[in-house]
Amino acid sequence: MRECFGYHRTMKEGPDISQIGALIGDPARANMLTALMGGQALTATELAGAAGITLQTASSHLSKLETGGLLVQRKQGRHRYFALADDEVGLLLENIMGFAANRGLMRTRPGPKDPALRKARVCYNHLAGDFGVRMLDRLVADGDVTLDGEEADLTERGEARIAALDIDVSALKAQRRPVCRTCLDWSERRSHLAGSLGEALLTRFIADGWAKREPDSRAIRFTPEGERRFMALFP
């Protein structure tokens, strides 16, 4: 009996994942967090609509998510907006989505936008889907990025390649977050590129007119010319 009690005490030590699990596990809160995976700040009314709940109920959920460190609130004039707290939250959610997909826990009715999401979508602030995985695969194959388990590093060769795309590598290194990170892709069930480099590349694709975001969706739509250039860059 003492051994049983001792084991129980050991299990109580360390980080309390039950609190995070409870916050994310509620269906309404999960839907709101997923809506924020698009990287845009949304109002409580917009998040209530995404979750299919009343504004009053949404406000209660948002308060819990903010207290739990998953969301931050931004004020602009009389309006309040909510966004994921940081990259770590986005990576956590994408990893959970990947885990769920690997276990066959998928929505039973894929929507009409599902193929577009699988092809290319925004994952908080970087490119995901088939195109995101393709990009990381090519960078690794060309020796621009090295992988060591889940760790990723930009090589000197990679720095030259990224600089040629008119991206300031020194500015990426100056940020507090990693330049390169891997993120488990829920649809491809492999890793795509995250970190400051992942965000910079997606920003560049959109700024150069290669791609644009689909309204009210996480899908990224590449133009025919943009897709041609992307495929030439990451064959």
What is the C-alpha to C-alpha distance for residues 132 and 194, in angstroms, rounded to an integer? 9
Same-domain status, 39 and 102: no
pLDDT in tens, 97-126: 877 777 776 665 544 457 888 999 998 889
Domain that holds residue 20: 2-85
Average pLDDT across the chain, whole number: 87
Give residue 82's pLDDT. 94
Domain final residue pick, 33, 57, 85: 85
What is the C-alpha to C-alpha distance for residues 147 and 16, in angstroms, rounded to an integer? 30
pLDDT in tens, 8-58: 445 566 677 888 889 999 999 999 998 898 878 899 999 999 899 999 999
207 within 8 A of 148, measured Cβ to Cβ: no
Residues 168-190 have a mean pLDDT of: 89
3-state SS, residue 146: strand
Give residue 106's pLDDT. 67
Same-domain status, 103 and 185: yes
CATH code, domain carrying 18: 1.10.10.10
pTM of the model: 0.74
pLDDT in tens, 87-105: 889 888 888 887 777 777 6
Query: What percentage of the chain reaches a pLDDT higher than 70?
Result: 90
35 within 8 A of 28, measured Cβ to Cβ: no
Same-domain status, 186 and 107: yes
Same-domain status, 108 and 192: yes
Domain final residue pick, 57, 85, 113: 85
Residues 78-85 have a mean pLDDT of: 89
